[in-house]
Amino acid sequence: MKSFSLSLWERVGERAWGRKLRMSFSRFDKYVDRHAQSFVEHLQTLCRMPSVAARGTGMRAIAETVEQMMQRVGIGTRSHRVGNGYPIIYGECGSGPQSYILYGHYDVQPVGHLSEWSVGPFAATILDGKLYARGAANSKGDLVARLAAVEAYQKTFGKLPVSLRFFVEGEDGLGSPSLYRFAKENADMFAAEGCIWDEGYKDTKERPVISLGFKGIQFVELRAHGARADLHSKWGAIVPNPAWRLVQALATIMSPKGVITIDGFSSQIAPISEEDAEALKVIEIDEAGLKHEFRIAGWVRSMKGAALVKEHIFGPTCTICGIRTGHTEAGMKTILPSLAVARLDFRLVPDLTPSLVVELLRAHLDERGFKDIEIIELASAPLAKSSAQSAVARAVIDSATEVYGSRPLVYPMDPASGPVGAVCGASSPPTPVASFGISHAGSNPHGPDENIRLDDFLQSIRLIGRVINKLAEAKSKTSGVAQASSGHAGISQSGKHS
């Protein structure tokens, strides 16, 4: 009888706390609704500032603006610059025994061809409830949403119940070289209970996707050299053509069926763990919806169902991101190129590392007589992977379930990549990570007409507020890291040859 009474009172207490929490967040949500227009305008201000890291235009101005936005919501900031790199904005707010990292970046991808955009890429135009701008989805929208949540939480409840540490960089599009160096030199600043990343979206069925890690990446450039300069194509019968040479080398790397054929590559891949295999069982891809969205007829190797999910999350990739050679502009120009260049990115799964991929690729090309093909390492990042049992993962998953009304899809590892290894692998043991964002299936980050839905933006603010609250409830750090390749968390030097 005694134990029954205790259980009963525990249940009554839980219900009372639940009612109190709902009432409290009703106030929080009302604050978000009242200030929605202001939050959107802050995002438009940021999106109207061109910040393509590869070009360097406007980077100092946007770094200053981001720091001012952080300060405006009560975040104490310090700007750090590593060498000639763009500033890393560090911010702290809140108090308590537990600290959590929030990652963000203010740089964006190149615009591409303006003719493919329906609106100006930096106009931050709002049409039919969507904000169109380069960087809206990746990832200025996420950054502004998190700052808005900090503001709303403090205005509603007072001081944050946990310590939040913001790291906002400007070199995500360059491979984050400054952040890697900064993390290595200041590992103590990255010691935390968990990390919240800014990659995530709603899929074609409106299901929020949360990821507990990211694939690694090795980004390389292959070069084939010919004559000292472009020649008249009449010499094509006797002068070697570097374009053909490069194409022939590339053809040895991937089979016609889309299988990576680099010697020894597949044998290095670790088997999927039991925990990850169980997680894959509840994940499904909206195949028909995505094929319609992408305007494609089918998937590589005609995969479907569970095999498609497994390959998407745990399959390594080798993607030709671009090929440049000869004359491809308007008008005819019959030339024999002097140079052919291809840029490839490899997305890495356990136990592949950036350095191992370059080593295997070099040996593979040499074995087939392509010693003349130059390999230039442009950027790299190790994979990072956490458990669903970590405190930060549970807080994000539970909060998302509350806000969206259904349990989110939880990916053991996001197919994308980023400097997660630098941030989460700086301390030992590595810091657990959970990632979510404001994008939707049609956001098209990195492509033309990048956009977010304003409703998703505001909903994300509500989500972050609840995540902060649940993190405060976590009693102790849960070590839930399955893997974080901190030993390989360095970016390759730009221009490194092999």
* Phi and psi based region of residue 9 (left: phi greater than 0; alpha: psi -120 to 50; beta: remaining): alpha
Give the integer Cα–Cα distance in Å for 392 and 389.
Answer: 8
Mean pLDDT score of the chain, rounded to an integer? Answer: 91
Looking at 34-43, 215-224, 431-440, 486-495, which range is the least confident one?
486-495
Q: What are φ and ψ of residue 363, in 5° steps?
A: -65, -40
Whether the upstream peptide bond of residue 107 has omega within 30° of 0, thus cis, is no
Structure tokens at 194: 């968990």
Global pTM value: 0.84
Give the integer Cα–Cα distance in Å for 418 and 54.
Answer: 16
pLDDT average, residue stretch 205-213: 95
Q: What is the pLDDT of residue 472?
A: 92
CB 224 within 8 A of CB 241: no
pLDDT average, residue stretch 50-77: 96
pLDDT in tens, 338-362: 999 999 999 999 999 999 999 999 9
**pLDDT exceeds cutoff 90 at 16:** no
pLDDT average, residue stretch 281-291: 93
CB 268 within 8 A of CB 356: yes
Residues with Cβ within 8 Å of 5's Cβ and at least 6 positions away in sequence, in order, are: none
Q: Look at residue 435 and give its three-state secondary structure.
A: strand
pLDDT average, residue stretch 167-172: 97
pLDDT band at 6 (very low <50, low <70, confident <90, very high): very low
pLDDT band at 432 (very low <50, low <70, confident <90, very high): very high
**pLDDT exceeds cutoff 50 at 485:** no
pLDDT band at 21 (very low <50, low <70, confident <90, very high): low
pLDDT band at 475 (very low <50, low <70, confident <90, very high): low
Q: Which residue has the higher pLDDT, 316 or 14?
A: 316
Q: What is the pLDDT of residue 427?
A: 79
Query: Which residue from 205, 409, 397 is spatially nearest to 313, judged by alpha carbons?
Result: 409
Q: What is the pLDDT of residue 456?
A: 98
**pLDDT exceeds cutoff 90 at 492:** no
Give the integer Cα–Cα distance in Å for 152 and 73.
Answer: 9
Query: Which residue from 281, 279, 320, 317 is spatially nearest to 300, judged by alpha carbons?
Result: 317
pLDDT average, residue stretch 457-461: 98
CATH number attached to the domain at 216-269+315-382: 3.30.70.360
Report the interhelical angle of 141-157 vs 454-473 (nearest 10°): 50
pLDDT in tens, 25-60: 999 999 999 999 999 999 999 999 999 999 998 999
User: Residue 312 burial (CB < 10 Å; 0-12/13-18/19+)?
Assistant: middle
**pLDDT exceeds cutoff 90 at 486:** no
pLDDT in tens, 98-113: 999 999 999 999 999 9
* Equal CATH topology for 22-215+384-484 and 216-269+315-382: no
Within a 10 A sphere around the Cβ of 362, how many other Cβ atoms?
16
pLDDT in tens, 366-418: 999 999 999 999 999 999 999 999 999 999 999 999 999 999 999 999 999 99
Residues with Cβ within 8 Å of 18's Cβ and at least 6 positions away in sequence, in order, are: none
* Distance (Å) of CA 191 to CA 44, 212, 424, 428, 481: 33, 18, 8, 8, 14
Domain ranges of the chain: 22-215+384-484, 216-269+315-382
**pLDDT exceeds cutoff 80 at 23:** no
Residues paired with 90 in a beta bridge: 78, 167
- How does DSSP assign 305-340, residue by residue? HHHHHHHHHH--EEEEEEEEES--SSS---EE-SEE
Q: What is the pLDDT of residue 422?
A: 87
Q: What is the pLDDT of residue 416?
A: 92
The CATH number fitting domain 22-215+384-484, selected from 3.30.450.20, 1.10.1740.10, 3.40.630.10, 3.40.50.1220:
3.40.630.10
pLDDT band at 491 (very low <50, low <70, confident <90, very high): very low
pLDDT band at 314 (very low <50, low <70, confident <90, very high): very high
Start-to-end CA span in the chain (Å): 74
